[in-house]
Amino acid sequence: MRRVESARSDITDEIPLAKRTSPSIQARSGSVRFLALSLILLGALVIALPLGFFPRYRGATLFFGLLQLPTSEGRLLGHYPYLEASSDDLISVYPGLQIHKDTYKALKSMRSAATADGINLILLSGYRSIELQRQIFYGRKSSRSQIAIERAKVSAPPGYSEHSTGYAIDLGDGSMRATDLEVEFESTPAFKWLKKYAAKYHFVLSFPKGNPQKVSYEPWHWRFEGTVDALRQFEPSNEKRRVLEPMD
């Protein structure tokens, strides 16, 4: 017994005095500081990571987007998030119908050319605020007794509509109004003309048959891609198209 005790005492003696003392107050406040710093860093990460993943969101849209947990590509039910056009960029075509000024210029040229070819292109819909899109999406959905997944095939959730950008337009044929916003629009002279000439004015069919976003075919819905700002807005959608429909 004595030997063991003496051995223990020897070991204790080998430990430097500074290490044998209990942690000082200074050391404890050091770990509190470390803990606080870690918490701050963790908080910053929680805020910064979603912003990095979804840089297109802002304000309420960011909050809405996070609540809805979009996919890694930022999509929600197949639709991409879009910014609302600034009111300074919008032009009133007629009461209750506004579009982006750049869309307006291109549409004006396109309509003149169509008219010269005997085609009566009419503008059915343009810019929609996120609030209006909310009314359309949730209003129609509830009245038609559809769940969000079904509704999203024909209408985008608020914050996810191309119409919010002011670059998307719905077109009709003035000589065949019964085809307005119907798939039958594809058989009108206006649609045939658009298929041939719209690209010249930088208008692109957003939801062609079998589109990678799996949104219903909408022959009447065209988006303007004639500026870098417009292209930037539609880049996620175009990126997906490029991957699925490689160009030769």
Closest to Zn ion by CB, 79 or 221 = 221
Minimum distance from residue 167 beta carbon to Zn ion (Å) = 11
Closest to Zn ion by CB, 170 or 186 = 170
Closest to Zn ion by CB, 119 or 168 = 168
CB proximity list for 101: less than 8 A, separation 6 or greater: 89, 90, 91
Contact residue for Zn ion among 129, 170, 174, 241 (CB under 5 A): 170
> CA-to-CA distance for 227 and 221, rounded, in angstroms?
18
Which structure tokens are listed for 19? Answer: 């290490």
Residue range at the interface with Zn ion (CB under 5 A); choices 59-67, 71-79, 129-137, 168-176: 168-176
Minimum distance from residue 206 beta carbon to Zn ion (Å) = 7
- Which residues 179-238 are close enough to bind Zn ion by CB under 5 A? 221
Minimum distance from residue 77 beta carbon to Zn ion (Å) = 16
Which residue of the chain is nearest Zn ion when measured via CB? Answer: 221
Minimum distance from residue 138 beta carbon to Zn ion (Å) = 17
SS3 62: helix
SS3 223: strand
| Residue 202: closest CA among 222, 221, 182 | 222
- Strands (E) located in the chain: 90-94, 97-100, 121-125, 168-173, 203-205, 221-224
Closest to Zn ion by CB, 5 or 94 = 94
Closest to Zn ion by CB, 151 or 221 = 221
Radius of gyration of the chain from its Cα atoms, rounded to whole angstroms: 30
User: What residues line the site for Zn ion (CB under 5 A)?
Assistant: 170, 221
